Structure 1
Amino acid sequence: MKLNDLTKDSLSQRLTAYQTWSKTCTSFITNIWSCSPSSTNPFSMPLLFFSRRFLIFSTIIPFIASITLYRLDTFDPSHLPADALVYSTTSIPPLVNDQLLTGAEFIGVGLLNKPEDIAYDRDSGLIYTGCIDGWVKRVKALESCHDSVVEDWVNTGGRPLGLAFGLHGEVIVADAYKGLLNISDDGRKTELLTDEAEGVRFKLTDAVAVGDNGVLYFTDASYKYDYSQASFDFLEGKPHGRLMSFNPTTRTTRVLLKDLYFANGISMSPDQTHLIFCETPVRRCSKYYINEERVEVFIQGLPGYPDNIRYDGDGHYWIAIPKGVTTLWKLSMRYPLLRKVTAMVAKWGFNLMFAEDAGVLQVDLDGNPIAFYHDHKISHLTTGVKIGKYLYCGSLLHSRILRLDLLKYPAQKSL
């Protein structure tokens, strides 16, 4: 992220002034501190106490003030909606498997570089996934994970995230940098469908779903921050996301909803009447009724921050949760100043918002929680797709797909 010229100049001036002031204070404090408490000088003890106070007022307070005044380009953290700060247990299901890694198998270890989303082609039995190196890869998952085959299929030249199949076998890709793409079923042709709406370019095309009528529904997580800056969108706490549609017949792009908080995963309902989409920072999934153009909450107060959502064809949605709710996240979401500090540190390559306790939440068609598969030892699970008896999970961190046998390792009633 670049600082604009005005911010660079003002920041440089503040830093120069602060450094000069600090050197002066340090020199003065060193001289004063050299006065020993055992000195015969009657002024030594008062000076020692004075020096400690002076240290606080001359260094610590200016440091806190500098945090308050510091600007990261146009980064300006805001207060989140009140309901996003409510942490209840209403979304905790009756069935839980809190040791997801126990019994987990791994597919394509070292061959799948951060496979964010998964799409399954029932006809060919192939799994498609998008990796951070730009490749859309195909995986033939066999009974033994070690025997599974990974194929480099098509490279988009960007960062493929959400995947879905079109009506004619084509693969629709939500590419974070490129926009909405169409890859022919033979992989020989990649076409850009759309990369802007209402004069605003997509910054982070995230997820896509296809209706039975061929219309494509997709999310642009943020019109302000791109994929490499996604954490700043979380931390800023402002609604930069959009839900949109693309009609392949008319070649038109429509904005269905604006002002969404990091619009993420999306799934079409089995009756084709509505979409379910996720807003990550506010831990909420909502329904968008296509014909009525209205919105209602599907599930909120999730046990973590949702990413992709997938329908399994059997009456259930599976919501991936890359990270659970931690004390640090709670505090940061409540106080914009803490998010500002975190963003400052993140700019220099340090991540204070450690992700942990990732999992996948199974809910019914009404949003009622059924089962939760998670583990405190894992993070950044970004999608959960049920294929037969297995749950397949993608990741933004790991170089493999996780697979869990749901029959061998089921979620059970909590004690």
Structure 2
Amino acid sequence: MLNYSVVENWVHTGGRPIGIAIDDFGDVFVADAFKGLLNVSVGGELEFLTDEAEGMKFGLINGIVVAKNGMVYFTKNRLHQWFHDFLEGRPHGRLLSYDPSTKQTNMIFRDHYFANGVELSSNQDFVIFCETFMRKCSRYYLQGEKKGSIDVFVDNLPGVPNNIRYDGDGHYWLDNSFSLKFIQIYPFIRKILAFTIKYLHKMPDFMNYGRGIALDLEGKPIGGYYDNTWIYTTSGVKIGKHLNMGSITRSYILRLNLIQNPLATATS
């Protein structure tokens, strides 16, 4: 069998690159947890763009996406206390934008509950971002009568959303792993979890399967895939006829053939 793929060390950021997005010219925008927002040219030249807004350092940049007009949208949370921030369940998250033409960084919206993955709508009239702790995704309108306002894109999810991706074929794919409903209701459980992680250095198993949910253009769940060997899903990206899923606890990518595996009916 011929192997046409080659893996190489391309660019060393000096930090911890968490997310990437590519613009129409082939430049790569990098969300680096330590360095901030970076750009890597087609030739591999690394450029620092920004690491603060309104005089405040970013901390942890989670999601990132680039619009056709070049505008970069990304989310942030606190860095070194990210999991405790998650368990605390308070609105420290932010949605920001960076304009490469003016080199200006703007705070679009603040006070989100662990702002995470981010994606543009199919016609780029709004940007979607996940609020992990609240088990929902919100949208910020970039154009039209609702420009500048925010509403709910999808909520009451069965698990926590991490990343969301549009597949170019009328669907958004949302990874949706372990459930946090009982944690939201009972704060004392969050304290127990924090103690367990800090002193016992162990992450309890919240759920024994992974999940990818398909949404239509209006955010309605229309189906999904489940795998009881795949836990803590962090991404679901459709490439061709395959759904590729990543996980915090796995060193490989789960690849699901969408033709051989019919879309299961969505459940709320």
Q: Do these two structures clear the TM 0.5 threshold for a shared fold by scoring above it?
A: yes
Match of residue 186 from structure 1? 43
User: In the alignment, which of 157, 168, 175 is matched to residue 302 of structure 1?
Assistant: 157
Kindly indicate whether residue 62 of structure 2 is the aligned counterpart of residue 206 of structure 1. yes
Q: Map Cα deviations across residues 323-364 of structure 1 (whole Å, 9 max, x no partner).
A: 232xxx433221212211221221122223545322211111
Q: Which aligned pairs between 1:110-259 and structure 2 lie closer than 5 A? A: 148-187=5-44, 189-220=45-76, 222=77, 225-226=78-79, 229-259=81-111
Q: CA shift at 1:309, angstroms? A: 0.6
**CA-to-aligned-CA distance 1:252-278 (integer Å, 9 cap, x gap):** 100001000111011111212100110
Partner of 1:8: none
Q: TM-score, normalised by structure 2?
A: 0.91
Q: Which has the higher contact order (CA 8 A, sep 6+)?
A: 1
Verify the 8 A CA contact 2:222 2:265 in the aligned structure 1: no
Aligned-residue offset at 1:243: 0.3
1:406 and 2:258 are equivalent in the alignment: yes
SS in 2 for 1:213: coil
Give 2:186's aligned amino acid: Y
Change beyond 3 A, Cα 1:352–1:324? closer
Question: Is 2:227 the partner of 1:375?
Answer: yes
3-state secondary structure, aligned to 2:9: strand
1:344 to 183, 190, 195: 195
Q: Distance in 2 between matches of 1:242 and 1:265?
A: 12
Contact 2:23/2:68 (8 A) holds in 1: no
Structure 1 residues 400, 151: closer, same or farther in 2, change over 3 A? farther
**Corresponding position of 1:4:** none
Deviations 1:109-153 (A, max 9, x none): xxxxxxxxxxxxxxxxxxxxxxxxxxxxxxxxxxx7977543322
Amino acid at match of 2:46: T
Query: Where in structure 2 are the equivalents of 1:10-89 lying within 5 Å?
Result: none
Does the Cα contact within 8 Å between 1:287 and 1:296 map onto a contact in 2? yes
**Percent of aligned positions that are identical:** 47
In structure 2, list runs of 5 or more residues that go unmatched: none
Residue in structure 2 matched with residue 71 of structure 1 by the alignment: none
- The equivalent position to 1:324 in structure 2, one of 171, 178, 197, is 178
Could you tell me how far apart the structure 1 residues matched to 2:166 and 2:203 are?
A: 33
Residues in 1 aligned to 2:113 and 2:88: alpha-carbon distance in whole angstroms: 10
- Match of 1:293? 148
Q: In the aligned structure 2, how far is the partner of 1:361 from the partner of 1:154? A: 33
1:278 corresponds to: 130
Do the aligned residues in 1 keep the contact of 2:223 with 2:265 (CA within 8 Å)? Answer: no
Amino acid at match of 2:243: L
Distance 1:147 1:277, change over 3 A: same
**1:157 positional shift:** 2.2
Letter in 2 for 1:300: D
Structure with higher helix content: 1
Of 185, 188, 213 in structure 2, the residue corresponding to residue 361 of structure 1 is: 213
Q: Please state whether the residue corresponding to 1:304 is helix, strand or coil.
A: coil
Secondary structure at the residue paired with 2:8? strand
- Does the C-alpha gap of structure 1 residues 401 and 312 become closer, same or farther in structure 2, counting only changes over 3 Å? same
* Distance across 2 between alignment mates of 1:305 and 1:173: 24
The answer as to whether partners of 1:342 and 1:353 remain within 8 angstroms in 2 is no
Contact 1:239 1:261 (C-alpha < 8 Å) held by counterparts: yes
| CA distance in structure 1 between the aligned counterparts of 2:222 and 2:119, rounded to whole angstroms | 18
Q: Residues 88-117 of structure 1, C-alpha deviation per residue, up to 9 Å, x if partnerless?
A: xxxxxxxxxxxxxxxxxxxxxxxxxxxxxx
| More strand by percentage | 2
Paired residue secondary structure (1:156): coil
Q: 1:282 and 1:146 mapped to 2: Cα distance?
A: 43
Q: Normalising to structure 1: TM-score of the pair? A: 0.60
Match of 1:339, SS state, is: helix
| Structure 2 Cα separation of the partners of residues 148 and 356 of structure 1 | 32
1:267 to 2:267 alignment: no
Contact 1:287–1:298 (CA under 8 A) maintained in structure 2: yes
Q: Tell whether the 8 Å contact from 2:230 to 2:247 is kept in structure 1 after alignment.
A: no
Alpha-carbon distance between aligned partners in 2 of 1:164 and 1:145, rounded to the nearest angstrom: 29
User: Are the structure 2 counterparts of residues 145 and 295 from structure 1 closer, same or farther at C-alpha, using a change threshold of 3 Å?
Assistant: farther
CA contact (8 A) 1:215 1:246 kept: yes
From the CA coordinates, give the structure whose radius of gyration is larger.
Answer: 1
* Counterpart AA for 1:152: N
